[in-house]
């Protein structure tokens, strides 16, 4: 009887060869923002066009068209030329990221400034984390300044953008609180050896003082609140004289309030006395 030969089975199936991946593939800035706005499972690059269209629609709903066009242009330049960003491009990228945060957190714009305080605290910590401390020379020289410069720009743009948002919402008291809070964090930034490197600090002071002055021109605080703000503004004047116009404006407001109170008291004292009453 002839032996029956059974076919042999393959123990391991050898997969088909995969195409080679091109080297130096970098994610664009738009893809990073899309992944942040839509925290779902990571989508491979070779998906169909429907997924890409959804991603673009979700991004367009959060970022305005003007900023998205600028971001795409800058990302194309980064991927093509592989050159570092200029100062203007860096400021525009940071401002666009802050605009995304503003549209993600609509409940931030309330009387509670805890989120804004955490944002300033984080950006100040990033400045100090970027400074290399394992050096024999000074850690406030030009080399350390170049390391911390992007984070200093992020701190400045954050002060400017969030203050403008509060001004647009006409939250005058919150504008004053944010300006004084950001003033304190600005005073805690590092002092650099070169005088010109401290220009960003002075720009932050000027921006916050402008926000504070605009709020005082539209806001009339109560006398107790005004005296508290005046005391805090005078304390802030120790760090920079840019707050001087705000102090003068608040003193003028408090002076008018005191005069109005005096006029009210005089009117009460000069009221007609009852009939038959002789003050002598």
Check residue 68 and give its pLDDT: 46
Residue 200, in any domain of the structure: yes
Q: Taking a C-beta distance cutoff of 8 angstroms, is the pair 127, 155 a contact?
A: yes
Work out how many domains the chain is built from and give that number: 1
pLDDT above 80: residue 16: no
Q: Taking a C-beta distance cutoff of 8 angstroms, is the pair 152, 189 a contact?
A: yes
Q: Rounded to whole angstroms, how far apart are CA atoms 119 and 25? A: 31
User: In the numeric block, which tokens belong to residue 40?
Assistant: 């779902």
Residue 69, in any domain of the structure: no
Q: What is the four-CA torsion angle of 215, 217, 220, 224, rounded to 10 degrees?
A: 70
pLDDT above 50: residue 212: yes
pLDDT above 90: residue 213: yes
Check residue 61 and give its pLDDT: 45
CB atoms closer than 10 angstroms to residue 262: 10
Q: Rounded to whole angstroms, how far apart are CA atoms 183 and 205? A: 7
Q: Rounded to whole angstroms, how far apart are CA atoms 277 and 280? A: 9
Residue 165, in any domain of the structure: yes
CB atoms closer than 10 angstroms to residue 247: 20
Residue 62, in any domain of the structure: no
Check residue 73 and give its pLDDT: 55
Average pLDDT score over residue span 130-145? 86
Q: The pTM is what?
A: 0.59
Residue 5, in any domain of the structure: no
Give the chain's count of helices (H) and strands (E).
Answer: 10, 0
Q: Taking a C-beta distance cutoff of 8 angstroms, is the pair 123, 178 a contact?
A: no
pLDDT above 60: residue 160: yes
Q: Rounded to whole angstroms, how far apart are CA atoms 247 and 164? A: 21
Residue 195, in any domain of the structure: yes
At which residue do the structure tokens 């948002």 appear? 165
Alpha helices in 63-198 (DSSP H): 65-81, 87-104, 114-129, 142-168, 172-187
Encode pLDDT of 166-211 as tens digits. 999 999 999 999 999 999 999 999 999 999 999 999 999 999 999 9
Check residue 268 and give its pLDDT: 61
CATH number assigned to the domain comprising residue 203:
1.20.58.1590
Instruction: For the chain, state the CA radius of gyration.
Output: 30
Residue 43, in any domain of the structure: no
Residue 235, in any domain of the structure: yes
The residue range of the domain holding 247 is 105-266
pLDDT above 90: residue 45: no
């Amino acid at each position: 009887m002839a032996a029956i030969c059974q076919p042999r089975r393959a123990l391991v199936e050898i997969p088909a060869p995969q195409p080679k991946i091109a080297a130096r593939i970098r994610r664009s800035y738009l893809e990073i923002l899309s992944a942040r706005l839509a925290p779902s499972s990571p989508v491979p690059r070779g998906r169909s066009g429907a997924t890409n269209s959804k991603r673009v629609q979700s991004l367009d709903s959060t970022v305005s068209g003007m900023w998205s066009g600028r971001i795409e242009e800058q990302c194309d330049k980064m991927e093509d030329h592989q050159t570092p960003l200029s100062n203007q491009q860096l400021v525009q990228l940071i401002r666009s990221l802050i605009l995304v945060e503003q549209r993600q957190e609509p409940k931030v714009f309330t009387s509670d400034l805890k989120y804004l305080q955490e944002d300033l605290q984080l950006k100040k910590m990033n400045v100090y984390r970027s400074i290399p401390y394992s050096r024999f020379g000074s850690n406030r020289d030009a080399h350390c300044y170049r390391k911390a410069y992007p984070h200093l720009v992020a701190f400045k743009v954050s002060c400017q953008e969030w203050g403008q948002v509060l001004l647009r919402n006409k939250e005058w008291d919150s504008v004053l609180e944010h300006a004084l809070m950001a003033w304190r964090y600005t005073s805690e930034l590092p002092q650099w050896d070169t005088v010109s490197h401290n220009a960003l600090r002075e720009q932050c002071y000027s921006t916050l003082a402008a926000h504070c002055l605009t709020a005082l021109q539209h806001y009339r605080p109560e006398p107790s609140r005004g005296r508290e703000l005046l005391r805090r503004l005078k304390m802030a004047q120790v760090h920079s004289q840019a707050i001087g116009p705000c102090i003068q404006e608040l003193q003028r407001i408090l002076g008018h309030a005191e005069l109005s109170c005096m006029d009210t008291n005089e009117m009460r004292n000069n009221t007609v006395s009852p009939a038959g009453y002789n003050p002598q």
